[in-house]
Amino acid sequence: MYKRDIYTVLKNKRIAKDVFCMVLEGDLSFITTPGQFINIEIEGFYLRRPISICDWDDKTITIIYKAVGSGTRAMSNIAIGTKLDILTGLGNGFTISTGNKNPLVIGGGVGVPPLYALAKFLIKNGITPKVILGFASKDDVFYEEEFKNLGCDTYVTTDDGSYGIKGNVVDVISTLSDYDYFYTCGPSPMLKAVSKNTSCSGQLSFEERMGCGFGSCMGCSCKTLTGEKRICTEGPVLLKEEILW
């Protein structure tokens, strides 16, 4: 179930290389769980832009996005006070597994944002996860301090070694032995690597290009044990055990 409404831009600020944080004010009643996303109508573009929700409270939504195409570059120039037509409450998010007390939260690039709200939810349930954040280089790093401020042990990797641990998130996973579950979001190659290099169960949030964003076009399907699942509706979060790589 989703809702279409008008939201006001309160903030739109660059926080890393080509990465922006936008805060929106409006109706949040249809946002219920970490891992859901919103779909934003941008003036001059036919298709909406799906963006994961980083955080929300009683009045505002925080999203973090990377300006990589014409649509998101246009988003980066949206002024404070602008009114945006947005679909909220899209997708099935993460399910908090309270039976697992030592989870890993693993994010890659712009897959990091939805994991912030997830970490907050876990902590509210008495579970403080270890956090692994993977980026290409130092200029791409964001939200390290925000996770640390939640009280999470936070590891940062960069492909080129310009910041944190040289390597990728799997290199950190291989050094840890006390985890019993994982939650992850990022590009498909990273999700596949995490899935194949963990012995426990977990939940994976997929990043996919979407046409409609609410299940009509079948353009974002993923192969699973029970058939094709739409990332925008049955996902974006799927269980490790059901995915056919």
- Could you report the per-residue pLDDT of 88-115, keeping only the tens digit for each? 989 889 998 778 899 999 999 999 999 9
Give pLDDT, residue 233: 66
Domain formed by 103-187, architecture: 3-Layer(aba) Sandwich (3.40)
Q: For the segment 190-200, what is each residue's pLDDT rounded down to a tens digit? A: 999 999 999 89
- pLDDT tens-digit map of 15-72: 999 999 999 999 999 999 999 999 999 999 988 899 999 999 999 999 999 999 999 9
Does the pLDDT at position 244 exceed 90? no
Give the containing element (helix H, strand E) for 125. Answer: none
Q: Where are the domains of the chain?
A: 3-90, 103-187
Please state, in angstroms and rounded to a whole number, the distance separating the CA atoms of residues 218 and 205: 17
Q: Given this model, what pLDDT does residue 153 score?
A: 98
CA distance 183 to 134: 14
pTM > 0.85: yes or no? yes
Q: Which CATH architecture has domain 3-90?
A: Beta Barrel (2.40)
Query: Is the fold of 3-90 the same as that of 103-187?
Result: no
Which contiguous run of DSSP H or E holds residue 109? none
User: Is the four-CA dihedral 187, 191, 192, 197 of positive or negative sign?
Assistant: positive
